Structure 1
Amino acid sequence: MSDNGFQPITHEAELEQRIALHPALAVWFFSSKCEICSSLKPRLERFFTDSFPRMSLAEVACAALPQTAAAHSVFSVPTLIVYLEGRASLRATRHIPLATLGPRLQRSYDLLFS
């Protein structure tokens, strides 16, 4: 599911539909002017593809959709929110250490897809 990388969200309703549709969805909130966002995104895509292949990926450009970001309590970038069965299960902001992200997700992911 994550083989195509983060898929852009173009409006609030689309994000809500994806959260409802996908049992596991990682949403990347970013800014095109954020260097951390640019450097971390490809590493996150690889991380999810390799470690959580059934996780769907979506991205929200906060400058284009500020209401969507605010509706999900995103006030700084980058922010990653992982939704499992429609609920926000993990939230990470700014410096997102991949080494700790995996263990935090693994058990819930395994229960969901076993």
Structure 2
Amino acid sequence: MKKIQTIQEVITFIENNPLAFLYVSQEDCSVCHALRPKLMELLKNYPTIELREVEADKVKEISAEYLIFSAPTLLFFVDGKEYIREGKFVQFKKLANTIDRIYSFEESRI
């Protein structure tokens, strides 16, 4: 998973990708390290969703800009608008169902 290093890169990533998924983690977070491979595996089913990781302890502005208070936080943006926000204890079945509905709708618009 590619990492984003600045808040401007985050903003540009969300603006330039119609389906943008942001994984906000912290270096010393064991839950973050455990969720990363599960998320990457899930998103393989959605090839047009772009995924990036931001380490909140390195890009401190992310917390203020997107109201992130804990890690991990998963954010899914469609055309720049936040559609999904999950944190800490992610229910992957529910997340997959929600992504599936949004993805199917967005793919049908193309």
The residue type equivalent to 2:55 in the other structure is A
CA distance in 1, matches of 2:30, 2:75: 19
1:89 alignment counterpart: 83
2:4 alignment counterpart: 9
CA distance in 1, matches of 2:83, 2:96: 13
Match runs of 1:34-73 below 5 Å: 34-49=29-44, 51-73=45-67
The alignment's TM-score, normalised by the length of structure 1, stands at 0.90
The residue type equivalent to 1:84 in the other structure is V
Structure 1: gaps of 5 or more residues: 1-5
Q: Check if 1:24 corresponds to 2:23.
A: no
CA distance in 2, matches of 1:73, 1:9: 17
Q: CA deviation at 1:70?
A: 2.1
CA RMSD of aligned residues (A): 0.9
The residue type equivalent to 2:58 in the other structure is A
Q: CA deviation at 1:66?
A: 1.2
CA distance in 2, matches of 1:47, 1:33: 23
1:3 alignment counterpart: none
Structure 2: gaps of 5 or more residues: none
CA distance in 2, matches of 1:72, 1:59: 14
The residue type equivalent to 1:54 in the other structure is T
Helix, strand or coil for the counterpart of 1:68? helix
Aligned residues between the structures: 108
1:91-113 CA-partner distances (Å, limit 9, x unpaired) = 00001111110111212111112
The residue type equivalent to 1:21 in the other structure is N
The residue type equivalent to 1:20 in the other structure is E
The answer to whether the 8 A contact 1:60-1:69 is kept is no
Q: Check if 1:75 corresponds to 2:91.
A: no
Helix, strand or coil for the counterpart of 2:37? helix
* Identical columns (%): 23
